[in-house]
Chain A
Amino acid sequence: NAGVMQNPRHLVRRRGQEARLRCSPMKGHSHVYWYRQLPEEGLKFMVYLQKENIIDESGMPKERFSAEFPKEGPSILRIQQVVRGDSAAYFCASSPRQGRTGELFFGEGSRLTVL
């Protein structure tokens, strides 16, 4: 029973390139969350998606960042024209259902380094 799978685990990009981070939720989970963790800082919420829908993107920068969770396939977090400040660990988490008792299951993260 695989957990939340994220890839790549490590990604190096030069300024101006695009970064694509993938997240496959646990089997049967239809809710996906993306968080960013900067060095020595906590987790910052970015976006919450259900299949084919963005539910809450209030934590995501308005420019250069986008996210999707298609009917088939993984959730994708896309960062266009990366800058050094985008260097961080990006964590995906999934949940099987709505409701206040639901817990999040985290992937091991994708670590983006922008040169």
Chain B
Amino acid sequence: GDSVTQMEGPVTLSEEAFLTINCTYTATGYPSLFWYVQYPGEGLQLLLKATKADDKGSNKGFEATYRKETTSFHLEKGSVQVSDSAVYFCALISTGNQFYFGTGTSLTVIP
């Protein structure tokens, strides 16, 4: 069945460091891919998305490229800030209109 696997955390970085959170997927057909962010005590918010192969989603300095050949959608940011501390979820929507989420990666950015 369809699934998402993302790198386990927690991840701790210093401010201005480079961030990569790995995400790979398994799916039949051609899913759309998403990154969601969850700040403490809140629900999930869409961070970025890509709907077809080679698309790049970007928002707030974060980027992720839909790589069909490696079935990956890794999240990157060139210079993290303390305010980026949150839990990040990779997700896909299958052809059955069902969303699948990864287990989440907790990021802490220290000044």
**A interface, CB within 8 angstroms of B:** 4, 31, 33, 35, 41-43, 45, 48, 55-56, 91, 93, 98-109
**B interface, CB within 8 angstroms of A:** 30-32, 34, 36, 41-46, 49, 51, 89, 93-104
Residues of chain B contacted by A42 (CB below 8 angstroms): 89, 101-104
Once the chains bind, are B42 and A56 in contact (CB under 8 Å)?
no
A29 → B minimal CB distance (Å) = 13
Once the chains bind, are A45 and B89 in contact (CB under 8 Å)?
no
Once the chains bind, are A107 and B97 in contact (CB under 8 Å)?
no
A-B contact pairs, 17 of them (CB 8 A): A31-B97, A42-B102, A43-B44, A45-B98, A93-B44, A93-B99, A99-B97, A100-B93, A100-B94, A100-B97, A101-B32, A101-B93, A102-B93, A104-B36, A104-B46, A106-B43, A106-B44
Give bound CA distance, A107 to B34, whole Å.
Answer: 17
Residues of chain A contacted by B36 (CB below 8 angstroms): 104, 106
